[in-house]
Structure 1
Amino acid sequence: MQIFKRLLRWALVLALTGLLLAIAAVGVAYWLVSPRLPSVAMLKDYHMQVPLRVLSADGKLIATFGETRRIPVDIDKVPDKLKHAVLAAEDADFYNHPGVDWHGIARAGWHVIISGGDKGSGGSTITQQVARNFFLSPEKLYSRKLIEIFIALRMENELTKDQILELYLNKMFLGHRSYGVAAAAEYYYGKTLDQLTIAQCATIASTFQLPSLVNPINSPKRMLARRNWVIGQMLEHRYISKAEYDQAVNEPNNAFPHEQ
C-alpha cells in the first residue's frame, strides 16, 4: 500500500512537471513567433471579391462574369438549419472552445506518434480553418500548425464567434468554382439559403472538407454517405428531431448544375 502511494505521488509529480514544461514551451514558442504573426484586425471589415452579376429589369440573374462564384451573406441571414449542419459537420463545440480544440490536437499528435510521423488530418477548429484560409499555405508543417494555433487564439480575442463563422461560411471553397454557402446553394440547387431543406443544408456542409472530391455532382454516392452522417450528427446534437432526421436521410440527391 505504501509503495502504491509513493508511485502515485511520483506519477502526479511527473504529470505536473510535464504540464508545466508544456506550458513553458508554448509560451516560449509564442514569444518567438508573435513578431511574425499577421494582424487579424483586417478581418473585421473584410470585403469578399465577387463576380460581376448582370440582372434583368425584373431582378432575375442573366449572367455572371468572373473566375469564381461568390455571394457574400451576413451571418444573421444564414438560416439556423444551415449553421447547425456546418457546425455538426465541422466543429460542434465552436461556440464553447477558445479557438483551439486541445483534445483534438492531442488526438492528432497521438496519431502522429503511433503512425510513425504521418501527419494525417483533423484537430482543426473552424477558427483554425479560417486562419489557415486567410493567412497560411495548405502545407502540412509543424511550424505552420503552431502559427495557425496562435492566429486562431488571436482571432478569438479580437473577433466575435459570429464574425468568425460568417467569414467561414463566405470564404470556403465548396466545389465547382463556388465559394461560400450562398454560391453553393445557387449552383447546386438554384435556391437561396432560406429555401434549402435540411438534407440540402447537410449536403453543402458535407463539401467543406474535400469539395473537389465529395460534392453532390462529382461523387453523389460518397456525398450521400457523408450527408447522412452529417444529418446523424445534427440529430445527435439535438439540432433536429427524429422525424426531421427520417425525412432528411430519405430525401434523394436532386443537385445539378444551375448555370446561366
Structure 2
Amino acid sequence: MLRFIVSIFGGIFSVMTNGAIVAALGVGAVFYMYGRDLPNHEQLAQYVPPTISRIYSAEGRIIDEFSQERRLFTPIEDVPELVKGAFISAEDKNFYEHAGFDARGIVAAAVEAVQTRGARVRGASTIPQQGVKNFLLSSDRSAERKIKELILSVRLEDTLSKDKILELYLNEIFLGQNSYGVTAAAQTYFNKTLSELTPQEAAYLGALPQRPGNLHPVRQKDEAIARRNFVLREMFENGYLDRAAYDAAREAPLLTVQGGDYEGFRQQLPPRDYFTDEIRRQLSRDFGEGQFFGGGLTVRATFDPKMQNEAARALRRQLEAYDREQGVWRGTGITLPAEALTSEEAWRAALAATDVPRDIDGWFPAVVLEVGESAARIGVEGVAEDEDGHFIPANDVTWARKALEDDRLGPQASRAGDLVERGDVVHVRPIVNDAGEFVRWSLRQVPEVQGAFMAMDVNTGRVIAIQGGFSYQHSVFNRATQATRQPGSSFKPFVYAAALDSGFSPATILIDAPIEVDTGDGLWRPRNASNRFYGPTPLRTGIEQSRNLMTVRLAEELGMDAVASYAERFGVYDRMGRFLANSLGSEETTLYRMVAAFAMFANGGQRLEPTLVDRVQDRWG
C-alpha cells in the first residue's frame, strides 16, 4: 500500500517536473525566437531627443521658438526629487528595485483587476518597458510586442543606469498640449520651471502619461483632479510626501495656464512676425527642417524691437491711408450667428474663437451687437462693458461705400448700418485726444493693397527690421523676401552707374527725345512721366529727374549686356533679361535684393549679403 502511494506521488512529481521543464523550454524558445532581430537598444545611450529651437533679439530676449515636438531637455541631475517621485509613484513604484520588468507589479495588477471585477485595471509596464516601447517599438496591443518589450527592457537595464533610463523617459514622454518631457509640460501647464512646481502640480504631470489627451485641466477637470489625487496618495505611501504636504496638496485646487490662473509662456512672447518667420525659412533651407525644428538651436537675431515696431507702424499707416482713399468697405467677412449674441459670455467666447488678426498694434477685434438709427453698438475683445456701452458713431463711416456682390458698391455711408450688420466681426481702434483721453471707437479693416518694408545696416548687412505685409496673422506671405515685383524707376541708378563706370560723366549730354524700339512683337515707344521731351540734357539731370527716354537711350548706347552685368554684380538679379525695357525696371525682383543692392551705393561698393542672424549655436554651444 505504501509503495503504491509513493509511486502515485512519484508519478505526480515526474509529471510536474517534466511539465515545468517543457514550460521552461517553451518559454525559453519563445523568448529566443522573439529575441532575434530586435532593434539595437544600445543606440539609446547616444540618443539625443529633438528639442525646441529659440530665437533671441540682439538684446538677448527670447522673441520666438519653433519645434515639431515642444521639448526642453533636462539632465536627470537637474530634475527635482519631487518630480521624479511623482512619475515613479504613478508609473513604476518599484523602479529602483526590478531588473526591467516588475513581477510583483504584474501580479498586483492582476489581483486588483480580479478583486474589482475589472473596475480598476492598471497597466503593469515599467518605465524601462515604456521607454523601449516609445523609442524602439510600435504601440500596437499584441502579445508579440509585449514579449519584445519585456526582452528589450531587461537588455536596457544591463546597458544603461537607472538614472539614465529615467532621464530618457522624463524627457521623451508625451504629456499633452504638444508638450514632450516634463520641463516643457511644466511650462505649458503652469509656466514654471521644474524646481518651482508644487507637489500637486508635480502630481498632475505624473498623472498625464496614461491619458495625456483625456485629462485636460479644464475640459476634464474632475477626472484630472481624481487622477492627480491618486498620484499624490501613491507619493505619500512611497515616502515622497509627508502627511502634512499630502493633505494640503490633496485639497488644493487645480490651477493651470489653461484655466486662466497663470499667464501662458507664449503670451509673454511678442506675436510671431515676418522677421522670425524669415529666419525659420532661411535656416530650414540652410540646415534642414529636421535640424531647425528639433536641433535645439539658439539663434541670436539682428532684430531691433524698436526699429521693427516703427517699421510696422510706418507701413501700416501708409497702407491704411491708401486703402481709405479708395473708400471701399470690405470688413472681415465673418459674421457670428444670432445665438452667439444672446449674452456677453456667449459673444465673448464666440469672438475669441474667430480667426481674425490680433497682431495689429492698437486694433481690437469686436462684434456688432446692435445697429441703431445712426450708430452701432459693439462688444470689444479684452475691453470690459460699461453702462453706456461701446459704439461706432455715424461720423466714423462716411469715408466708405460697402462692397456688394458682383463688384458693385453701395451708397456712400451716412450711418453705421450702411456698412455693418448685427453679428459682423470687425476691427476697431480707440481714438484719443491730445491729452490721451478716449474719444470714440473707429472702424478699421485690413487693406486690400499690401506692401513691404526693410531696413539694413549698409556697412554690415545686418537686417534690423522687416515687415512683409500689413499683418502677419492676416497673411504670412513675406512681400519683402518672397514677392517679386517690378522695381520700376528705382532700377535706373544701376543703368547710370554702369554708364559712369564705362567712361560717361555727369556732364555727358544725352538727347531726351522720342525713341522707337522694335521688340519683335511691334514697336515700343517709351515716354517720360510728364509726356514732354527736353532735348539735349546732362546725364546727371537724367537720374535726378528720372527721365525714361534718357535712360533708354543710355542703355541702348551702353548695350544691355553691360547694364545686365552691372545689375547681376549688385545682386539685383541672378540673370537679367537683355531687353531695353528692363532698363526701366520692368523685370521683377524682390525688395530684399533691392535693399542689399542700394546698400552698396552707400558703403562704397562693398558687396553685402543681408543677414538676419548674428550667431547660431547648437545645443552643445
**The two structures share one fold, judged by TM-score above 0.5:** yes
Contact 2:34 2:144 in 1 (8 A): no
Inter-partner Cα distance in structure 2 for 1:19 and 1:245: 47
The number of residues matched between the two structures is 253
Corresponding position: 1:153 with 2:154: yes
Structure with larger RCO (C-alpha < 8 A, sep 6+): 1
Contact 1:206 1:215 in 2 (8 A): no
What secondary structure does 2:63 align onto? strand
The equivalent of 2:139 in structure 1 is: 138
Aligned pairs for 1:218-233 (under 5 A) are 218-233=219-234
CA displacement 1:160-196 (0-9 Å, x = unmatched): 1111111110001000000000000011011110010
CA displacement 1:69-96 (0-9 Å, x = unmatched): 1001100100001100111100000010
Taking a change above 3 Å as real, the CA distance of residues 82 and 60 of structure 1, as seen in their structure-2 partners, is farther
Taking a change above 3 Å as real, the CA distance of residues 140 and 112 of structure 1, as seen in their structure-2 partners, is farther
Contact 2:41 2:136 in 1 (8 A): no
The equivalent of 2:283 in structure 1 is: none
Taking a change above 3 Å as real, the CA distance of residues 107 and 13 of structure 1, as seen in their structure-2 partners, is farther
The letter for the 2-side match of 1:230 is: V
The equivalent of 1:177 in structure 2 is: 178
Single out whichever of 243-252 and 16-25 deviates more from structure 2.
16-25
CA displacement 1:101-121 (0-9 Å, x = unmatched): 2244456778999xxxxxx76
Corresponding position: 1:51 with 2:79: no
Inter-partner Cα distance in structure 1 for 2:187 and 2:15: 56
Contact 2:34 2:148 in 1 (8 A): yes
Inter-partner Cα distance in structure 2 for 1:241 and 1:16: 49
Taking a change above 3 Å as real, the CA distance of residues 17 and 242 of structure 1, as seen in their structure-2 partners, is farther
| 1:6 Cα deviation after fit | 9.3
The letter for the 1-side match of 2:53 is: L
Single out whichever of 55-64 and 150-159 deviates more from structure 2.
55-64
Inter-partner Cα distance in structure 2 for 1:82 and 1:242: 18
CA displacement 1:15-51 (0-9 Å, x = unmatched): 6555444432232122222221111111111111112
What secondary structure does 1:36 align onto? coil
Inter-partner Cα distance in structure 2 for 1:5 and 1:223: 61
What secondary structure does 1:54 align onto? strand
| 1:10 Cα deviation after fit | 7.5
| 1:68 Cα deviation after fit | 1.9
TM-score, normalising length: structure 2: 0.38
As a proportion of its length, which structure holds more helix?
1
Contact 2:82 2:202 in 1 (8 A): yes
Aligned pairs for 1:1-260 (under 5 A) are 17-56=18-57, 60-106=61-107, 122-257=123-258, 258-260=264-266
TM-score, normalising length: structure 1: 0.86
Single out whichever of 71-80 and 95-104 deviates more from structure 2.
95-104
Contact 1:207 1:215 in 2 (8 A): no
What secondary structure does 2:134 align onto? helix
The letter for the 1-side match of 2:250 is: V
Taking a change above 3 Å as real, the CA distance of residues 102 and 259 of structure 1, as seen in their structure-2 partners, is same
| 1:251 Cα deviation after fit | 1.5
The equivalent of 2:516 in structure 1 is: none
Taking a change above 3 Å as real, the CA distance of residues 229 and 28 of structure 1, as seen in their structure-2 partners, is same
RMSD over equivalenced CA pairs, Å:
2.9
Taking a change above 3 Å as real, the CA distance of residues 108 and 196 of structure 1, as seen in their structure-2 partners, is closer
Taking a change above 3 Å as real, the CA distance of residues 39 and 214 of structure 1, as seen in their structure-2 partners, is same
Taking a change above 3 Å as real, the CA distance of residues 174 and 11 of structure 1, as seen in their structure-2 partners, is farther
The letter for the 2-side match of 1:216 is: P
Contact 1:53 1:61 in 2 (8 A): yes
What secondary structure does 2:210 align onto? coil
Inter-partner Cα distance in structure 2 for 1:128 and 1:200: 25
The letter for the 2-side match of 1:185 is: A
| 1:259 Cα deviation after fit | 4.3
What secondary structure does 1:95 align onto? coil
Inter-partner Cα distance in structure 2 for 1:184 and 1:228: 18
Single out whichever of 102-111 and 57-66 deviates more from structure 2.
102-111
The letter for the 2-side match of 1:31 is: Y
As a proportion of its length, which structure holds more strand?
2
Inter-partner Cα distance in structure 2 for 1:106 and 1:15: 22
| 1:64 Cα deviation after fit | 1.7
Inter-partner Cα distance in structure 2 for 1:77 and 1:165: 12
Consecutive unaligned residues in structure 1, runs of 5 or more: 114-119
Consecutive unaligned residues in structure 2, runs of 5 or more: 115-120, 259-263, 267-621
Taking a change above 3 Å as real, the CA distance of residues 16 and 93 of structure 1, as seen in their structure-2 partners, is farther
Single out whichever of 45-54 and 211-220 deviates more from structure 2.
211-220
What secondary structure does 1:133 align onto? helix
| 1:14 Cα deviation after fit | 6.1
Taking a change above 3 Å as real, the CA distance of residues 41 and 228 of structure 1, as seen in their structure-2 partners, is same
| 1:66 Cα deviation after fit | 2.0
Single out whichever of 19-28 and 159-168 deviates more from structure 2.
19-28
Larger radius of gyration: 2
CA displacement 1:198-227 (0-9 Å, x = unmatched): 110000000010101113244221110000
Inter-partner Cα distance in structure 2 for 1:239 and 1:30: 37
Inter-partner Cα distance in structure 1 for 2:249 and 2:12: 50
Taking a change above 3 Å as real, the CA distance of residues 64 and 13 of structure 1, as seen in their structure-2 partners, is farther
